């Protein structure tokens, strides 16, 4: 894995658009809003902030994810549940997407493992991730890594922005 650069932005967006279509085919409303989230600007800001990572297979980009080691304000207030370690520092993992060309090869496992390792090496022991209720791929992925569903958070201003959240606590 390596950090993304602005030169990678077109490829990242191709992967994201492919993932957006897959989510739609799965019946998920995630990434289907009129605002186009996640947008090119979202990923540009992730790249410029040094938190967008790419999974490489040889010289080819096969996946992407964003790791925020300083947490995310959306995760401060949880509804319909509670955090296991409220008030403790945490990292969040966002915008995981795999190229359609490589789907089904479990490359998302490599991304998750790397994101957790990077944050752990930086001293983070608590991890959070949110996903849409119908995004079974992410639900299964995070549960396989030991994340526990804790409740829900709002990632935006409307009820359409309510997401299931998972937490992983390491010592």
Residue 7 tokens read as: 């030169």
Tens-digit pLDDT profile for residues 8-54: 999 999 999 999 999 999 999 899 988 889 999 999 999 999 999 99
pLDDT at residue 84 in the model: 97
Please, what sign has the CA dihedral across residues 43, 45, 48, 49?
negative
pTM to 2 decimal places: 0.93
Q: If you average pLDDT over residues 53-82, what whole number do you get? A: 95
2-169: which CATH number, 3.40.50.2000, 3.40.47.10, 3.40.630.30, 3.40.50.970? 3.40.630.30
| pLDDT exceeds cutoff 90 at 155 | no
| pLDDT exceeds cutoff 90 at 63 | yes
């Amino acid at each position: 894995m390596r950090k993304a650069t602005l030169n990678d932005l077109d490829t990242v967006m191709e992967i994201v658009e492919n993932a957006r279509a897959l989510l739609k085919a799965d019946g998920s409303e995630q990434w289907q809003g009129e605002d186009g989230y996640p947008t090119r600007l979202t990923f540009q800001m992730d790249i410029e902030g040094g938190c967008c990572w790419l999974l490489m297979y040889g010289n080819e980009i096969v996946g992407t994810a964003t790791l925020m080691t300083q947490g995310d304000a959306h995760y401060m207030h949880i509804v319909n549940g509670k955090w296991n370690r409220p008030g403790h520092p945490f990292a969040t993992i966002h915008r995981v997407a795999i190229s359609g060309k490589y789907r089904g090869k479990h490359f998302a496992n490599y991304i998750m493992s790397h994101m957790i390792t990077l944050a752990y090496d930086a001293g983070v022991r608590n991890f959070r991730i949110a996903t849409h209720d119908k995004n079974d791929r992410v639900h299964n992925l995070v549960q396989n890594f030991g994340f526990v569903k804790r409740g829900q958070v709002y990632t935006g201003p409307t009820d359409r922005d309510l997401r299931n959240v998972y937490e992983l606590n390491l010592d």
